[in-house]
Structure 1
Amino acid sequence: MTKVVFITGGSSGIGKSIGEFLHAKGFKVYGTSRNPAGVTMSIFPLVQLDVRDEASIAEAVRTVVEKEGRIDILINNAGVGITGAIEEVPTAEILNNFQTNVFGPIAVMKAVLPTMRQQKKGLIINVTSIAGYMGLPFRGYYSSSKGALELITESLRMEVKTFGVEVTNVAPGDFATNIAAGRYHAPVVDCSPYEEMYKMSLDMMNEHVNSGGDPREMAEAIFKIIQTPKPKVRYVVGAPMQKFSLFLKKILPGKAYERLLMNHYKIKG
């Protein structure tokens, strides 16, 4: 039986790469987009979905289930970046970030789980971030939103195993996608106490994304997970140094690791 894959945020970046890769492997892929009509090229169908709108989520899931009779794999990929000093990011942008990166994926999982329970089988893959394992300067809201999704996944794994549903996290590092263009940047404010530090950090973040890896690496990792009968709690996909940073956090005292991050981002203190 051909497996049906449902990918949120499937019109560009990592989601599109995953969809194209799985489509080529013979999966029946459905991606989502807030505006499918505006996507000119997609080799798999896109359905309208805004993860901030529960009615839109319910309609998208219903559409796919009515067409295919099932959803075998959910890839919760839709997300948004956000940068800025904790003190300076507007509350409305903080709420939008958590709505997109945390509450949205939760709502999609809640919409898909009844079908997976009925099937007595399913796989949910939540795309988080290496940034979700550490509080990064000027990316605190992004780090915390991805960290929250990591912990939600850990809890959900235990709750749904009895129904034959597997859940896992995949945490990517920096990949060459359009996330930098789509993220919310708190403006660099003249005479702000954070002006110099934030500008340097922002330039560094954009440079890392622009020189990031090929999103196909994520697609290949997702495919391997799908082929694994009992996926691990989490997978990390990224450059060796990014993975090594997680190892360092495990073994170093908190202040020593904090100093490494501050030196990396050229923050004095």
Structure 2
Amino acid sequence: MQRALFVSPSVLTLLVLAAYPLVFIASAAFTESSLGKPFQEFVGTANVETALASAGIRGSLLLGTGYAFAVALASTLLGVITAVALHRSLHSGPVVRTALLLPMIVPPVVVGILFSFVFSPSGGLLDTLISRFTPASGTYAILSDTTWAIVGVGIADVWEWTPLVVLLVFTALLGQDPEITEAARLDGARGVRLFGHITLPAVAGTIAAAFLIRLILAFKVFDLVYVMTSGGPGSSTLVPAYLIWRTALQSFDVGMAATITLLLAVIVTVVTLPVFLIVRRLRHG
């Protein structure tokens, strides 16, 4: 009885925060639901069939998956390089380490506004650099280009979340057994050889876990797209999270928004499950 009493708050929290939203989304996906009148009529798999037949929705899910992998990979690579550099120069002090973590503290909306200014064709940082080094090239509006707009959003995303990878990997590096590293140095291991055979295997599980976390965060990107491009130009930055918001709160089609959410959940599960298994094997292997 006492055990059930202690566990009941956690169970109630799980039901409220996880089970109820999942049931609501699943129910809305199989019914005709608007923002004002949810669950009007049961339509079976009609919403799913419509979503799968829509080139726009398929394109958004594909774009979101490619985007998530690209920014997660970039953040992980930059994060590992930065963490190793920090670990090898511990004398740099806490000021430098704190400064490197600042982007993670800045709200995503502020990051979006900041990079909108950076990529502005009228006096932005990128425009200023291009004008100085190539005066005849004219202006370049990266966020107005259908090819480069998603790259601009990705750069802002990588800038914001790479410090998380740095923090995780740097902590793992600090937890290494110094005796193993010292023994490897005495045996002649240096530089790339020392990192590849001693350091990397020791922190590989943490790196994989950081990649997994970063991948999930990248699938959820919304704030940056909302502030920087509003899904445009065209649909070049119409990632799934923004499409769900637009479908539910601009088109008032809650049923279709719930369907896209379920499809996204399936994709995230399929994509992240192998990574999770790799993380578990590296951590416990």
Q: If the TM-score is normalised by the length of the shorter chain, which range does it land in?
A: under 0.3
Larger strand fraction of residues = 1
Normalised to the residue count of structure 2, the TM-score between the two structures is 0.21
Normalised to the residue count of structure 1, the TM-score between the two structures is 0.22
Larger Rg: 2
More RCO (CA 8 Å, sep 6+): 2
Larger helix fraction of residues = 2
